[in-house]
Structure 1
Amino acid sequence: MSRRPRPRGPHGPHGQWHHRWRHSLRLRLITVFVLLAMAMAAVFLGGMQRAFSNGWRGAAQPLVGDYMDRLVAELGQPPDVARAQALVTRLPISIRIEGPVVNWDSHPDRRWRGFGPRSSEWLTRSTADGHRINFGLGTLPWQREPHGIGWLTLGLLLALIVLAYAYVRRLLRPLDDIRAGAERFGSGAFDQPIPLRRRDELGDLAQRINTMAHDIQGMLDAKRALLLALSHELRSPLTRARLNAELLPATPEGAAERAALLRDLAEMRDLISDLLESERLASPHVALQREPVDVSALVREVVAEHPEGGRIVLDVAAGLPALALDRLRIRLLVRNLLENALRYGGDAAEAPRIALRASTEGGVELEVRDFGPGVDAEQLERLTEPFYRTDSARQRATGGVGLGMYLCRLVAVAHGGTLAVRNAQPGLAVSAWLPGAASPA
């Protein structure tokens, strides 16, 4: 059975290297440096060769010609092979003798090489006795140990490339600091600024980003302080308004208006409580009152207290350990997820489900699923944003004010966990992972 060859697409070694090269400023700078060095070397060598071949040929030809005449005279007539061998041994030249008496080649085992183009007319001599003597290049000094010089040259080139890469890496190191700092600032961690390593353009950019992060932190702190102050100050007049509404005479004519007023005041009270709790949980220094919590018992308790809890299907695993959690915050998480499932899946043919099981990563995983219409795929990521609601009419009777899922995410994150939302088809499934450390019994 033949095996199908694996395609070498963008995920192959070549594709990975190309992707990395395109997204790495260091690699591109090193490539430009190497190509520039090779181009400069080629231009220099080509220019020097052109200058020597054109400019010095006319000056060197009479000198070389005179030297060739002296070598021919030294060989004698007819040419003496012993003298020719001595010249080849002493000088880096090759000699070929052709004639009626002597036929000899100093390098018969390799291709004949002259000194360059058009050199045959001034490197060839004919003697009076009919011999023709050709001179060419022999074994040059650097050709006697070609491997050593080649490896040395290659080592020097590699060393230059490594040094260039190290220098470019050191030069662009502030970019790594800026990227890491931008990620920290994006997640809301403004306590660690970007380190300033140099006083160049990148250092100035890092300083400006630090200043921007400091200003953003100041604006967020001011917004949080204003929201907390307003929420706190609204509680007192809201409590008085509710008390006055309850003291109104319960006449048959005003019973409906009185009930509507009390319902609106209760929604305002819950909204203020959710705002205060969301700001507390959003703080990086949120204080959790951890205690040993039996999550399975807490889930059953919240379901039993809810007026529509009898409709909920529970799937709770046995033998779950007690975890060190904030009981009030976990109750808030379970209650909000339960109310969300009943609000959007209460009219479905199948009742909402709550599953609680041990997580493979430690802790427990709580999943609340309804069988309602679900939400659009592009809205899933925004469900846990504050004040975001999927219905365009923004009616509180159907969608609340948009803080329930946001509070659930804050509770899970404050405990070191996560909150994930997905379309279960049908319905919506919300999974909360709580990695609280197991508490001793």
Structure 2
Amino acid sequence: MKRPAALDRLGVRLLLLFVLLALAMTVVFMSGMQHAIGGGWRGLVRPLVRDYVDRLAEEIGSPPDVGRAQALVARLPLSIRIDGPQVQWDSHPGLQGRPERPFPPRPPWHGAGGLRWMADPQADDDDGSERGWLLVTRMTPDGHRLRFGLADVPWRHRPRSIGGLTLALLLGLTLAAYALIRRWLRPLDDIRAGAQRYGRGEFDAPIPVRDRGELGRLAGQINTMAGDLHGMLEAKRALLLAISHELRSPLTRARLNAELVEAGASREALLRDLGEMGALIGDLIEGERLAAGHAALQREPVELALLVEAVAVETAEAAGLDESALARALDFALEGVPERLDVDPARWRLLVRNLVGNALRHGAAPVRVSLAREAGELVLTVRDHGPGVSDEALAHLGEAFYRPDAARGRGQGGVGLGLHLCRLVAQAHGGRLQLRAARPGLEVQVRMPWPEPAEEGDLRR
């Protein structure tokens, strides 16, 4: 059986624990007190009741005097019934012929001297009371049976509103306890939200420290840890950018010197390796820039369909496809986004170039490139018809420097940053990268919130 979701909250579990503990303590206390004083109470009350009933029987006399019995009933809250050879009288005729039953809670002296409880069925329920007998029997010397009882039971005289008021008070106390527990545990919600922000790389908003207790100290320690991690990440990013920038100058000189080498296979291999190193440095720098998210974007009005088609064709031409092969390799479906949109054209060029380049390099024709609007999202889809990748490799595509060995080798180019940069571009635009094994081939979708349409007066730059 599945546990209710509310029980997963620590505050609810603590509140239930307190309520159950209070109920258990009440039951144990009441039971202990009843057993502690019950015996002594019975020992005190029994002789008093017996002596009092004996005096009442003497006052009525033998044979019983009905007038004296009526005087007692008029003066005291008693019920008297006389059964015998000479006198048959009952102060409460409505109780005659009714069965006797114990009254809960059971009186401490129950069972002594023939005490029984008899309910009056003629009692009016609206007055909040119940009339009946707590019976004690005495025999007179002339053979009459005197039965004494209480004429009006005080247990039912109390207003019914006391029960409702008590229940409302208990509910109020429970709600107050829950509110207090929620206030005490509120720092846990702040800590959870802060941990989620830190996990997304958002270190600008620290966890608020609301008190000086254990949870407050925990929030402060987590903030300190997050600050240290942020500093380490920033130092790593700065070092990576510095190394990348510093490598560009000697790389440029090496390429210039390679151009002076005698033409041949060695020269071509050297230039290819230097070009791969330059692309790697450029990708590293771009990746660190995109880590800033929206702050790295430079939006402007762009006819997105034309941009996607132009970049895809340029990528195919750079891959060595001639005009006839290019027509067979690329299949466009761009009619779904005819208008101009505010996007970052440089990042979109990088996005389309990497996706189409991967599809042409590791897949097979035709490569279908489509733009569409779905449920308020801008969707770019690139699907090839190649061998695709395994499910295990699919789960890791998009990670930095990940290269599925079954799909490519070193000679095929790429260092495992293409899809990683595509993921960063999608995230910078507030979207996400999705990969699916199309069988055959691989389908990559970039989904991001629909950009604001460009105004009529805007010009494409």
Q: TM-score range by the shorter chain?
A: 0.7 to 0.9
Secondary structure of the structure 1 residue equivalent to 2:74: helix
- Partner residue, 1:4: none
Q: Determine if the alignment matches structure 1 residue 370 to structure 2 residue 376.
A: no
For residues 299-356 of structure 1, the C-alpha deviation after alignment (integer angstroms, 9 at most, x for no partner) is 110122122443111112255221101101001001111011112212xxx5121111
Gaps in structure 1 of 5+ consecutive residues: 1-9
One-letter amino acid of the counterpart of residue 225, structure 2: M
Q: 2:367 aligns with which of 324, 349, 352?
A: 352
For residues 64-101 of structure 1, the C-alpha deviation after alignment (integer angstroms, 9 at most, x for no partner) is 222222333454551535345436xx53x655544332
Secondary structure of the structure 2 residue equivalent to 1:438: coil
Q: 1:126 aligns with which of 109, 114, 139?
A: 139
Q: 2:262 aligns with which of 242, 249, 253?
A: 249
Percent identical: 52
Q: Determine if the alignment matches structure 1 residue 35 to structure 2 residue 20.
A: yes
More displaced 10-residue stretch of structure 1: 162-171 or 285-294: 285-294
Q: 1:439 to 1:59 in 2, by over 3 A?
A: same
One-letter amino acid of the counterpart of residue 208, structure 1: Q
Q: Which has the larger Rg? A: 2
**Aligned-partner Cα distance in 2 for 1:249–1:397:** 23
Q: 1:315 to 1:119 in 2, by over 3 A?
A: same
- Partner residue, 1:104: 90
**Aligned-partner Cα distance in 1 for 2:15–2:439:** 51
Q: 1:258 aligns with which of 267, 272, 289?
A: 267
Q: 2:31 aligns with which of 19, 28, 46?
A: 46
- Partner residue, 1:341: 359
**Aligned-partner Cα distance in 1 for 2:147–2:287:** 97
- Partner residue, 2:252: 239
5 Å matches for 1:43-192?
Answer: 43-77=28-62, 78=64, 80=66, 82-83=70-71, 85-86=73-74, 90-91=76-77, 95-100=80-85, 101-104=87-90, 106=92, 108=95, 111-113=100-102, 115-116=107-108, 117-121=110-114, 123-136=136-149, 139-145=152-158, 147-192=160-205
Q: 1:49 to 1:336 in 2, by over 3 A?
A: same
Q: Does the CA contact (< 8 Å) of 2:332 and 2:369 recur in 1? A: yes
Secondary structure of the structure 1 residue equivalent to 2:88: coil
| CA RMSD between the two structures | 2.4
Secondary structure of the structure 1 residue equivalent to 2:4: helix
Q: Does the CA contact (< 8 Å) of 1:322 and 1:439 recur in 2? A: yes
Q: 1:157 to 1:261 in 2, by over 3 A?
A: same
| Equivalent residues, number | 415
* Length-normalised TM-score, structure 1: 0.87
**Aligned-partner Cα distance in 2 for 1:428–1:95:** 99
- Partner residue, 2:442: 428
**Aligned-partner Cα distance in 2 for 1:374–1:282:** 29
Q: Determine if the alignment matches structure 1 residue 385 to structure 2 residue 394.
A: no
One-letter amino acid of the counterpart of residue 436, structure 1: P
- Partner residue, 1:6: none
- Partner residue, 1:5: none
Q: Which runs of 4+ in 1 moved over 6 A?
A: none
Q: Does the CA contact (< 8 Å) of 2:426 and 2:446 recur in 1? A: yes
Q: 1:392 to 1:427 in 2, by over 3 A?
A: closer
- Partner residue, 1:290: 299
Aligned-pair CA distance for 1:392 = 6.5
Q: Does the CA contact (< 8 Å) of 1:320 and 1:358 recur in 2? A: no
**Aligned-partner Cα distance in 2 for 1:318–1:201:** 56
**Aligned-partner Cα distance in 2 for 1:279–1:137:** 92
Secondary structure of the structure 2 residue equivalent to 1:373: coil
**Aligned-partner Cα distance in 1 for 2:33–2:48:** 20
Q: Determine if the alignment matches structure 1 residue 395 to structure 2 residue 409.
A: yes
Gaps in structure 2 of 5+ consecutive residues: 116-135, 457-461
One-letter amino acid of the counterpart of residue 294, structure 1: E
5 Å matches for 1:283-322?
Answer: 283-284=292-293, 286-306=295-315, 307=317, 308=321, 309-310=326-327, 311-318=329-336, 320-322=338-340
Aligned-pair CA distance for 1:375 = 2.6
* Length-normalised TM-score, structure 2: 0.83
Q: Does the CA contact (< 8 Å) of 1:420 and 1:430 recur in 2? A: yes
**Aligned-partner Cα distance in 1 for 2:100–2:437:** 78
More displaced 10-residue stretch of structure 1: 171-180 or 266-275: 171-180
One-letter amino acid of the counterpart of residue 368, structure 2: R
Q: Determine if the alignment matches structure 1 residue 273 to structure 2 residue 282.
A: yes
**Aligned-partner Cα distance in 2 for 1:219–1:227:** 12
Secondary structure of the structure 2 residue equivalent to 1:286: helix
